[in-house]
Structure 1
Amino acid sequence: FRTTKWDPKENLPYDYGRIYQFPNFRTMSKQIESEQEYNQHKQEHAQEPAHLLFVTGLLPNEQCLSVLNIVLNRTNDSEIIVKSKKRLIFHVGFRHFSSSPIYSQHSNSDKHKFERFFRPRQTLVATCFDPITYPSTSVLAFKQFPDDKDRQELVATDSLLSVNHDRIILKRLVLSGHPFKIHKRLSVTRYVFFFKFCTHSHMKCLFDGIFNSQDIVFMNLYKSVHPKYGHMKPLSIQQQENNEDIQ
């Protein structure tokens, strides 16, 4: 897992051809940050003080869709176990939307292990398709309950890590089998694969030591996983669908 070279462009979903891909996101982010130091904000009074009016501009490429990597740290009050690819409501800067992210470990490695669940008191990286936003924007993640559309619980907070479509997220699969025939370091293992077109499902394995009959064969396989396209919805559309369901 640590030493194997992995091509981030290999076996990408067709949906990755629809997103905007930065040639060098770090350079672009530093350029935007340096330009914002000279910008100024202006405060105006709305005609109706009872209503909150918030006007903002978009930075370059913020109208495009890409792959966002968000660092999420579970709150101390939340004890809900969030499953990967389940819908959450995100507040990223001034944007509010719902998305179904996948989770991976937050490490300095070039490959990151996929996590099926986001457990309490855990820090993970959520990857999803969302509009481009530049770091380090504050992020709030809420869990919406299906039985009560108006009930939301804050499950995680932190900030945006990067906009990187080349982040490698690997899912581990464990294959196991029992020895059928043994000859020193060579073993014919069965019960590893179960295919309809294969009657035996045997596999020859060569080990670095003497293999015994009481041993069991385990083998780790890794495959790259990606977020699903089309699971991002602006919060206004999501609320409209919820109101239609209630009606």
Structure 2
Amino acid sequence: HLNVLARERLARFRGLKNFKTSPWETAEDRPHEPEDWRRLLQIVDYKGSKNRTLREALVGGVNPGIRVDVHLRGVPSSLRNRRQPLSLFSLLRHEHKHTVVNVNMHLNSSVEEPLKSKEELVVQCGPRRLVVKPVFSAGDNTPNNVHKFDRFLHPGRSAIATWIGPLTWGAVPVLVFKSKQNQDPELLDSADADAEAQIDIDNLELIGKGTVVAPDQSRVVAKRAILTGHPYKIHKRIVTVRYMFFNAEDINWFKALQLWTRRGR
């Protein structure tokens, strides 16, 4: 835009010669990191750590078929009056800590509209039911561990869904739900008023499934922006391009980036 400086609008972007092979400097991302990013759990050897944790869980404990009395503190009154039996689950080592959760998610082909990134979803991951806003990215393997950000996940397609949440060891299956939209205009006001209330299970729609993959805090999800211009004059190997930048400062700022045509020349 004429009134917007490109170097300020694209301050969080950087030039890459090749999206899949060029190295990514993580030091430039530190000013834009979440507040608790450095406090998240980082696992160097995921496979070895998982095997050690599973072996620890098999040592000791209570054998199947033995009656056990469990005493709980601070139980809400709503749970005391329920007639349905309660289920108790134990966590493995480090599963109470938060990390970068990656899930190989598949959206059902029966879903009518594509799913937008950062849209609120309800996921059932083992015994846990979480409300998350995942970011979608390509699930390919790249040498530089940089993956293209996907704005939408289309029906019948798969992508890596990423969010910050509690750690889960192993390839645990995941069910993905979405709250059904209320089509009755008379009930919209009441629905907005109850937005912060507990999620109604009967109002959830199963839209996809997935599998937990190894958490990787060094995995880069990058948005791709392409600067375009109109070739005004071509003389041998010199090309004059207009409508790409509108001031000399932006030209000098981005002059180190390579140019190419639609045919890759």
TM-score by length of 1: 0.71
Is 1:174–1:219's contact at 8 Å kept on the other side of the alignment?
no
CA distance in 2, matches of 1:79, 1:153: 13
Asked if 1:141 corresponds to 2:162, the answer is: no
Q: Where do residues 86-235 of structure 1 align in structure 2 (5 Å cutoff)?
A: 86-109=119-142, 110-147=145-182, 150=200, 151-193=203-245, 198=247, 217=261
Q: Secondary structure at the match of 1:173?
A: coil
Asked if 1:20 corresponds to 2:38, the answer is: no
Alignment CA distance shift 1:201-1:112 (3 Å): closer
Name the residue aligned to 2:52: 31
Alignment CA distance shift 1:60-1:36 (3 Å): closer
Deviation at 1:93, TM superposition (A): 0.6
Alignment CA distance shift 1:48-1:64 (3 Å): same
1:172 partner amino acid: R
Alignment CA distance shift 1:126-1:41 (3 Å): farther
How many residue pairs match? The answer is 210
Cα distance per residue 1:128-185 (max 9 Å; x no partner): 0111111211101111135367422111112101211111222211211012444321
Q: Secondary structure at the match of 1:172?
A: coil
Query: Which runs of no fewer than 5 residues in structure 1 stay unpaired?
Result: 209-215, 221-247
CA distance in 1, matches of 2:90, 2:255: 62
Name the residue aligned to 1:5: 23
Give the superposed CA RMSD: 3.4
Comparing both structures, which one devotes a greater share of its residues to helix?
2
Is 1:64–1:131's contact at 8 Å kept on the other side of the alignment?
yes
Name the residue aligned to 1:212: none
1:143 partner amino acid: K
CA distance in 1, matches of 2:263, 2:117: 24
Deviation at 1:103, TM superposition (A): 0.5
Query: Which runs of no fewer than 5 residues in structure 2 stay unpaired?
Result: 1-18, 70-79, 183-190
Alignment CA distance shift 1:163-1:206 (3 Å): closer
Cα distance per residue 1:60-116 (max 9 Å; x no partner): 111111100001112243233110011110111111110111011222323322111
Deviates more, 1:162-171 or 1:19-28: 19-28
Is 2:231–2:242's contact at 8 Å kept on the other side of the alignment?
yes
